[in-house]
A and B are shown apart, each in its own frame.
Chain A
């Protein structure tokens, strides 16, 4: 079975500071990896995904994430936080191969707060 652990349910940064949201997964084979963002009272928006190829992937709004197989991690970063980045972020995985790639297992989420 797959599982996802997000370290830190709440992360607080100052505007302009580095954002680092941690995600580790457990899976018998490397899965597909995703980060989603959820703004208040809205649905989930796909930030970025790793499927194959380059392990550093870039997404929307200046976010990027690096897949590290040896560490079973897929941490999300952004060099400089903006007030508009305040939201809840979810790391998710799905099984590689077959047709159920959209059947996602989510982490518990990390609420990002950005201070002026």
Chain B
């Protein structure tokens, strides 16, 4: 595809439920990132995958958050036992191996926890 795609675009869930958010990066991009955008916290890095290396999970806010990347392409961000403070826009991004080539973002998934 031409750009990073994410699904669903909107997700409303009840507190305590698990959710899965999907990201399909730009073809050929080896690096994939998840960010979170919320009113109070701005744009926060969550997790980063680069090729076959172990992911950088340093931004995950709690152990309720996890992510995987299958086959070096599609990624899924899972939030277990959702809380109201998890409400935010979750952005996926990808970049190539070339340093400073630019990181390209998807349209985001707006998660609302009621």
A108 at the interface (CB under 8 A from B): yes
Q: Are B33 and A102 in contact, with the CB atoms below 8 A?
A: yes
A104 at the interface (CB under 8 A from B): yes
Q: How many residues of A contact B (CB 8 A)?
A: 27
Which residues of B have CB within 8 Å of A102? 31, 33, 48, 93-95, 103
How many residue pairs, one in A and one in B, have C-beta atoms under 8 Å apart? 66
Which residues of A have CB within 8 Å of B93? 44, 102
A34 at the interface (CB under 8 A from B): yes
Which residues of B have CB within 8 Å of A49? 100, 102
**Contact (A105, B45) CB under 8 Å given A43-B106, A49-B102, A99-B50:** yes
Query: With A49-B100, A49-B102, A108-B42 given, can you name 20 additional A-B contacts, CB distance below 8 Å?
Result: A32-B99, A32-B100, A34-B102, A34-B103, A36-B105, A43-B4, A43-B105, A43-B106, A43-B107, A44-B93, A44-B105, A92-B43, A94-B103, A99-B97, A101-B95, A101-B100, A101-B103, A102-B31, A106-B42, A109-B42
On B, residues with C-beta under 8 Å from A are 4, 31, 33, 35, 42-43, 45, 48, 50, 53, 56, 91, 93-95, 97, 99-108
Return 13 A-B CB contacts under 8 Å, by A number: A43-B105, A51-B99, A52-B100, A90-B43, A92-B43, A99-B50, A99-B53, A102-B31, A102-B93, A102-B95, A102-B103, A104-B103, A106-B42
